[in-house]
Structure 1
Amino acid sequence: MQVVDPHVHFWDLRTHRYPWLENPGTSFVGDAAALRHDYLPENLSSDAGAVQVLKVVHVEANHDPENIVEETRWLQSLADGGDGSRGAFPNGIVAGADLSAPDVEATLAAHAEFANTRGIRQILNVHADPLYGYVERHFMRDPVWRTNFGLLARYGLSFDLQLYPSQMREAAELARLHPDTQFILNHAGMFVDRDRLDGYRAWRDGLRLLSACPNVTVKISGLAMFDHLWTVESLRPYVLETIDAFGTERTMFASNFPVDRLFGTYEALWRAYARIVAGASSSEQSALFRHNAERIYRI
């Protein structure tokens, strides 16, 4: 089985600082202390087992915000030093940046200097329940943030969009304002309030609001964060609903490793995706597992 994995995280606790792993807390994902260990390309290759990982995209791992470009420099050094046996990982880099910072253009310019940089992620998830909260500010409502968002197109950078369904309407408006910027919705829209009918409707309808914007694509990943005892059948409705909204031409599968490693093996996850879309054509499967990620992330 061959895949291109467009959502992985690497970290080296010996040489880099990740504040969230210094004093790990507990969230809906579980105890972050279980992730307090190095995770490098060789660890991913080992976890892959029988899955042949052709290329990967690294998504920022909440590196030290005081030295955010250092994460990109380090990742580029990993890519440049790859032995070629499974590809020089990471092939693409989605870097971190705070678009509300007045001087963020210097950060974007610095990231863009590295050959494998493709985009930016700034986590936007706001939730009334502290268990699910990532940030406390509605960045998309911040005038400085909105102005600086326009800089992404200047530097040819995409935007990895991580939020909750309640924020999807605002995100769709943002996507329409920036038609020249590629948006990639993370983790199938993070359907968090799944125990309520209005929560389901917010997710379902939000997917369709975003999919109506031609510059928005989606990654099916991170489902295990909300379904720790997942099975093929428990994942199936979320996978199929997401593909139904975006189509096979704007959807890609991803692992979210090592976070989702807490809830299953790499091979089991990709085999589950394959079983769910077994009825798709060979060209559709190639798009979902490899070609869309290569095209969207330009790798």
Structure 2
Amino acid sequence: MSKSTAAPMRENIVMPDLPIVDAHIHLWDRIGFDYFAPEFLVDVADGHNVTASIYVECNMRYSDDPRPDFQPIGETEFVLEQAKLAEGSGHDLACGILGAVNLPLGADVEPIIDAQIAAGQGRFRGVRFRVAFDTDPVAGYNEIGYPSGSVLDNPAFLDAARCLARKGLVLDLWAFHTQLDDVLRFAEKVPELTIVLDHVGGPLGVGRYASMRKEVFGHWSRGIGSLATAPNVNVKLSGLGISRLGFNFAGGGQAQSSDELVAAWKPYVRTCVEAFGPERSIFGSNFPVDRAAASYRTLLNGFKKMLADIGDVELRAVFAENARRVYRLP
């Protein structure tokens, strides 16, 4: 398929008054362009009622602390500097921060977590840990910040998770669909910990999975249904634009409309909401990563259309209130 030369259409805003807390954003220069507070504020000012956002760790601006495990605290400090740039904008940028902590250290993470909490100045709400692992050389990650094998069954990881729970923090997990059973076993071992499964549980669509869309959907949907039985787990409706999920639009470019997003992504979003219920489903844009699939305006229109019939109370829960409750936002 050749890449389309037509520019994606600029749409009218769907449900412009619906309050939104964008529960998954990054600020970085990792993918060939700057996307920091000024760029994100342009997106949130484009018509949707996005009142606040949650920043999620992404290896940005680590410090030069001689203790490597304390270096991610530099990212939290960087985010606070970015948040100051949003003052007066009407958007509460990074009102919650999910930082990086080397959880396989086990109980030794406690002073690191305490340092993150202190650095966050009231905004630190938890840890995002990337357990995403697959042996396929295309689907799997081979970069800093990703494991070279399974870590969820590591006793030390469980000890660190219990430390998070004691401190009232949330654990976001980025896992692939092949790991959902592992996530469930882990969640059952630490029922006191609030867990958020990122990016609808990562149904892979590249490498060996590229020709297995139907099989992957079946495997993934069964895993989502099982994981939803753990009451301490929530699901984040985000990340479907990640390249590893294999949803290519316009031969590799952005979708031409929100309806194109709906056609490709609605089965995954609705499966999650039906399994977890609107009360445990949380919207996140995953910008700027998901900018590869659509503009911010179009992406949010698409998610609103996918869930338009669930009811006003439920919409407000998915798009704002669940994030505020789960991450204890002001």
Q: 1:38, 1:83 → 2: CA distance?
A: 20
For residues 158 and 210 of structure 2, what CA distance do their matches in structure 1 show?
30
Of the three residues 112, 129, 142, the one matched with 2:154 is 142
- Find the aligned partners of 1:258 and 1:266 in 2 and give their Cα distance: 9
Q: When the two structures are aligned, how many residues end up with a matched partner? A: 278
Q: Is the 8 A contact 1:58 1:93 kept in 2?
A: yes
Which residue matches 1:203?
Answer: 220
Q: Contact 1:165–1:191 at 8 Å: present in 2 too?
A: yes
Structure 1 match to 2:188: 176
Match 1:68 to one of 72, 77, 82: 72
Query: Does the C-alpha gap of structure 1 residues 275 and 194 become closer, same or farther in structure 2, counting only changes over 3 Å?
Result: farther
**Separation in 1 of the partners of 2:285 and 2:113?**
26
Residue equivalent to 2:200: 188
Q: Which residue is equivalent to 2:27? A: 10
Q: TM-score, normalised by structure 1?
A: 0.87
Normalization by structure 2: what TM-score?
0.79
Query: Paired residue for 2:32, among 32, 36, 48?
Result: 36
SS in 2 for 1:139: coil
Kindly tell me: are residues 292 and 194 of structure 1, through their superposed partners in 2, closer, same or farther at Cα, counting changes over 3 Å?
A: farther
Letter in 2 for 1:156: G
Residues 1:121 and 2:128 aligned together: yes
The range that moved more, 62-71 or 47-56, is 62-71
Instruction: Structure 1 unaligned segments of length 5 or more: list them.
Output: 14-20, 22-34
Counterpart for residue 27 of structure 1: none
The residue that corresponds to 2:240 in the other structure is 223
CA separation of 1:104 and 1:90: change in aligned 2, threshold 3 A: same
Residue 99 of structure 2: aligned partner: 95
Percent of residue pairs bearing the same amino acid type: 30
Is residue 53 of structure 1 aligned with residue 65 of structure 2?
A: no
**Residue 139 of structure 2, aligned match among 132, 145, 148:** 132
Which residue, 78, 81, 87 being the options, matches 1:83?
87
Structure 2 counterpart of 1:191, which letter? P
Q: How does 1:243-254 map to 2 (within 5 A)?
A: 243-254=273-284
List gaps (5 residues or longer) in structure 2.
1-15, 142-146, 250-254
> 1:82/1:259 Cα in 2 relative to 1: closer, same or farther (>3 Å)?
same
3-state SS of the aligned residue for 1:101? helix
- Tell me how far apart the structure 2 counterparts of residues 97 and 195 of structure 1 sit (CA, whole Å): 36
Matched, 1:261 2:291: yes
Structure 1 contact 53–86 (Cα < 8 Å) conserved: no
Structure 1: how far apart are the matches of 2:95 and 2:289?
Answer: 20
* Residue in structure 2 matched with residue 289 of structure 1 by the alignment: 319
- 2:8 alignment counterpart: none
Deviation at 1:79, TM superposition (A): 3.0
After superposing the two structures, state which structure 1 stretch, 167-176 or 116-125, moved more. 167-176
The equivalent of 2:5 in structure 1 is none
Displacement after TM superposition at 1:276 (Å): 1.4
Secondary structure in structure 2 of the residue aligned to 1:94: strand
The secondary structure found in structure 2 opposite 1:159 is strand
TM-superposition CA deviations, 1:34-88 (whole Å, max 9, x none): x233222221121231112101000101234831011112212333564232233
- Whether the 8 Å contact between 2:153 and 2:186 is mirrored in structure 1 is no
Opposite residue 182 of structure 2, the aligned amino acid is E
Superposed displacement of residue 106, structure 1: 1.9
User: 2:252 aligns to what?
Assistant: none
Q: Give the one of 117, 124, 130 matched to 1:112.
A: 117
Distance in structure 2 (CA, Å) of the matches to 1:194 and 1:247: 29
Q: Is the 8 A contact 2:38 2:85 kept in 1?
A: no
Q: Aligned residue for 2:13?
A: none
Q: CA deviation at 1:194?
A: 6.7
Note if contact 1:81-1:88 (Cα within 8 Å) is conserved in structure 2.
no
**Does structure 1 retain, via aligned residues, the 8 Å contact 2:98–2:126?**
yes
Moved over 6 A (4+): none
Residue type of the alignment partner of 1:164 = F
Going from structure 1 to structure 2, the CA distance change for 1:277 and 1:88 (only over 3 Å counts) comes to closer
Moved more, 278-287 or 78-87: 78-87
For residues 14-29 of structure 1, the aligned pairs below 5 Å read 21=30
Q: Give the greater-gyration-radius structure (CA).
A: 2
For residues 305 and 186 of structure 2, what CA distance do their matches in structure 1 show?
Answer: 35
In structure 2, the CA distance between the partners of 1:55 and 1:259, relative to structure 1 (3 Å rule), is same
